[in-house]
Structure 1
């Protein structure tokens, strides 16, 4: 992975920003390449790799929000302008896909609740990014998820097919991915892919924070919820295989009966 990072760091435009203290216990990651609908360049993928490392090391966070910047789309996948300049061989393409597959896979393994804000499009690789997040807020005003991969002559390079199967089942995932389906907010909710729908783009971030605050502060008592307990639940959700030894180890890290 180090070789791939050196190959693509500082290649292309755009940036990825991290605010570790956006809200109490909630971080904010912003994909910023608005003139390219927040498509990801090599530079941005490497920055995202570094940001995920910081999130992995964080001890006091409960959740992280991912959004597109500049009033543009969530993410339009790979920045083709960057690709035409720097991705010249099949080896280059495979290396870049390995980097982004690794990024999204690590996001799915974070001991944090992850939430995406879909205003504008989550297109192609952006639709694969979305499948790696725990919860989604989508705007009726402009939000949509579009699985355009086959229309561009490619398969699912960032692991989206496997994750979508776990969300909606094999038949529907194959139908959507191979058939280049476009989902609006209503369809997303009906199929269990979208969790919050808002009327206007401007409302999505606020509603996302309200949604995530239920994991930060108890709604009845107003007391702060133990971050270790919430993070422990996320770890169990990642590894939902009934392994008692693993479950008991996670329980011990939260303080166990000492907190009861």
Structure 2
């Protein structure tokens, strides 16, 4: 039996999602990776027992991005007329940034190796990134005579600011884990063999918090990116009023006053 192209493991409120096409360096196109990712992200979103998601790649690469051979040979969607190619992006890879953006649980990219093109963008779509010392990042689209068609520019500007996003886009150069850390692309760089343990440890801190409050805090951060201050304050007030009524809020207060560890129920 062939293993799924995207693996999902849920334990201790942490969903670990692994891109599982290692022989081809986990490309997003040229396989059924997109549909499989969307299905897994939907499972994570709908599962109340998940508080945080870790995304990584099997084998030596995180994600090689698009299938260059298919582009060269004009196979799959790349051989279609321009309007149909545009539709294939809208109905295909562009569904990934929407799914990740709408995911209510925090997301951590555990970057185990090369994250190239759409693979680099995939890391930027996550809330946080932890890199192996072997990780490399490349916004390399211009080297192939194309642009980021997957919302990568939208995320890159918000993660790094316009100037750095512009430099990485226009130079289309690869950067190593150390430079990624200097640019604040990643939270930290760890020895390769410690990557998943460190990512899960970071995820465990989040998973220990009240589940519904975690998801609401993620929604609040998303709103902060696009709302002006008066509207945002109204939204924060509404969310906060709901949080004050949760059982986990009362459990947190009781545990604090009783000097014990809280036990959260997600209610």
**For this structure pair, what is the TM-score category when the shorter chain's length is used for normalisation?**
0.7 to 0.9
Flag structure 2 segments of 5+ consecutive residues without an equivalent: 251-267
The one-character-per-residue Cα deviations of 1:50-101 (angstroms, maximum 9, x if unpaired) are: 22222221223111011111x2200011123455432221345323322212
Provide the secondary structure at the position in 2 that maps to 1:127: helix
Q: Which residue of 2 aligns with 1:7?
A: none
Q: Which residue of 2 aligns with 1:94?
A: 86
Deviation at 1:251, TM superposition (A): 2.7
Q: Is the 8 A contact 2:53 2:203 kept in 1?
A: no
Q: Which residue of 2 aligns with 1:209?
A: 200
Q: Which residue of 2 aligns with 1:148?
A: 140
Q: Which residue of 1 aligns with 2:236?
A: 247
Q: 2:173 aligns with which of 171, 181, 187?
A: 181
Q: Is the 8 A contact 1:37 1:76 kept in 2?
A: yes
> Take 2:128 and 2:246, find their aligned partners in 1: how far apart are those partners?
30
Q: Is the 8 A contact 2:54 2:203 kept in 1?
A: no
Q: 1:26 aligns with which of 11, 14, 17?
A: 14
Q: Which residue of 1 aligns with 2:264?
A: none
Q: Is the 8 A contact 2:8 2:17 kept in 1?
A: yes
The one-character-per-residue Cα deviations of 1:156-205 (angstroms, maximum 9, x if unpaired) are: 100011111111111110110111122211111111110121122x2100
Deviation at 1:17, TM superposition (A): 1.9
Q: 2:105 aligns with which of 109, 112, 116?
A: 112
Paired residues, number: 236
Provide the secondary structure at the position in 2 that maps to 1:133: coil
Q: Which has the higher helix share?
A: 2
Q: Does 1:236 align with 2:224?
A: no
Q: Which residue of 2 aligns with 1:122?
A: 115
Q: How does 1:27-42 map to 2 (within 5 A)?
A: 27-41=15-29, 42=31
The one-character-per-residue Cα deviations of 1:90-127 (angstroms, maximum 9, x if unpaired) are: 34532332221221222022111101111220001101
> Take 2:142 and 2:175, find their aligned partners in 1: how far apart are those partners?
16
Deviation at 1:31, TM superposition (A): 0.8
Q: TM-score, normalised by structure 1?
A: 0.84
Q: 1:168 aligns with which of 137, 160, 175?
A: 160
Deviation at 1:45, TM superposition (A): 0.6
Q: Which residue of 2 aligns with 1:222?
A: none
Flag structure 1 segments of 5+ consecutive residues without an equivalent: 1-12, 218-224
Provide the secondary structure at the position in 1 that maps to 2:32: helix
Q: Is the 8 A contact 1:105 1:132 kept in 2?
A: no
> Take 2:166 and 2:68, find their aligned partners in 1: how far apart are those partners?
25
Provide the secondary structure at the position in 1 that maps to 2:93: helix
Q: Does 1:59 align with 2:55?
A: no
